[in-house]
Amino acid sequence: MPRFYVPQTFVAGEVLRLPENVCRHIQVLRLQAGEPLVLFDGRGQAAEAELLEIGRKQALARVDRLLVESRESPLAVTLIQAVSASEKMDFAVQKGTELGVKRIVPALSTRSNVRLSGDRAEKKVRRWQEIAISACEQCGRNEVPPVAPIADLSQVLAALLADSGARLLLSPHGGVPLRSLPQVQSAVLLIGPEGGLTAEEEDLARSYGFQAVQLGARVLRTETAALAALAAMQALWGDF
């Protein structure tokens, strides 16, 4: 059953006017009036609905029943991903969402090969948020992880809450095996850019309580590192 992100409150029996972007998606999928679909609000609520009407710029759907379901992991992970080349960052956001992260924080580091500010930065964040929404539509999550505004790594680290859980830094320069750590319920995972974090940035992260961890003896690309670390964390402490 196709799923669509509709940031509204759902009430059984109510007829909703679907957002224009959802209407376009419905047209691309060639859905017809009378077909069922699932709507979710990005905050955890979902509903089964019936498509009533499809116009050029408008579609109507009736909410049939609310769904009581959650596909959220018991492990709450904030992903701090150093900004990298566009397609690699897109991949990290998409796969991070599929793998259950609660929040995505793009950070500018010394070796980030992309420099973004002002309107360009805001446009990128909107794009990454759209990628996260699309990933939720695909993977069945009803909670969309927010993508934070782009900030320098030092600002991101300084803004972390005291109760953010374990703080893990994936480092090619040594660290304990991830599997050797005790069980955690929440964590912040810091992934460097292409070329990695500088020694000074790793030291800064450690000063904020981050512990260096390793995933084997091989050096992983930045987009592979996020995927591999999140999958390993879900296997150890989450719902894999």
Q: What mean pLDDT comes out for the span 70-91?
A: 94
Q: What mean pLDDT comes out for the span 222-233?
A: 95
pLDDT confidence bin for 119, thresholds 50/70/90? confident
Look at 54-68, 70-84, 106-120, 175-189 and tell me which has the smallest mean pLDDT: 106-120
- What is the model's pLDDT at position 214? 92
> The domain 76-237 belongs to what CATH superfamily?
SPOUT methyltransferase, trefoil knot domain (3.40.1280.10)
- What is the model's pLDDT at position 139? 97
Question: What is the residue-wise DSSP string for the chain?
Answer: --EEE--S---TT-EEEPPHHHHHHHHHHT--TT-EEEEE-BBS-EEEEEEEEE-SS-EEEEEEEEE------SSEEEEEEE---HHHHHHHHHHHHHTT-SEEEEEE-TT-S----HHHHHHHHHHHHHHHHHHHHHH--SBPPPBPPPEEHHHHHHT--TTS-EEEEE-TT--EEGGGSPP-SEEEEEE--TT---HHHHHHHHHTT-EEEESSSSPPPHHHHHHHHHHHHHHHHS--
Q: What mean pLDDT comes out for the span 92-113?
A: 96
pLDDT digits (tens, 9 = 90+) for 168-214: 999 988 889 999 999 999 999 999 998 899 999 999 999 999 999 99
pLDDT confidence bin for 162, thresholds 50/70/90? confident
**CATH 2.40.240.20 corresponds to the domain 3-67:** yes
Q: Which of 172, 228, 164 is nearest to 202 (CA)?
A: 172
- What is the model's pLDDT at position 85? 84
- What is the model's pLDDT at position 43? 97
Q: CA-based diameter of the chain, in Å?
A: 59
- What is the model's pLDDT at position 92? 96
- What is the model's pLDDT at position 27? 94
Average predicted confidence (pLDDT) for the chain = 95
- What is the model's pLDDT at position 105? 98
pLDDT confidence bin for 163, thresholds 50/70/90? confident
pLDDT digits (tens, 9 = 90+) for 20-41: 999 999 999 999 999 999 999 9
- What is the model's pLDDT at position 114? 78
Domain ranges of the chain: 3-67, 76-237
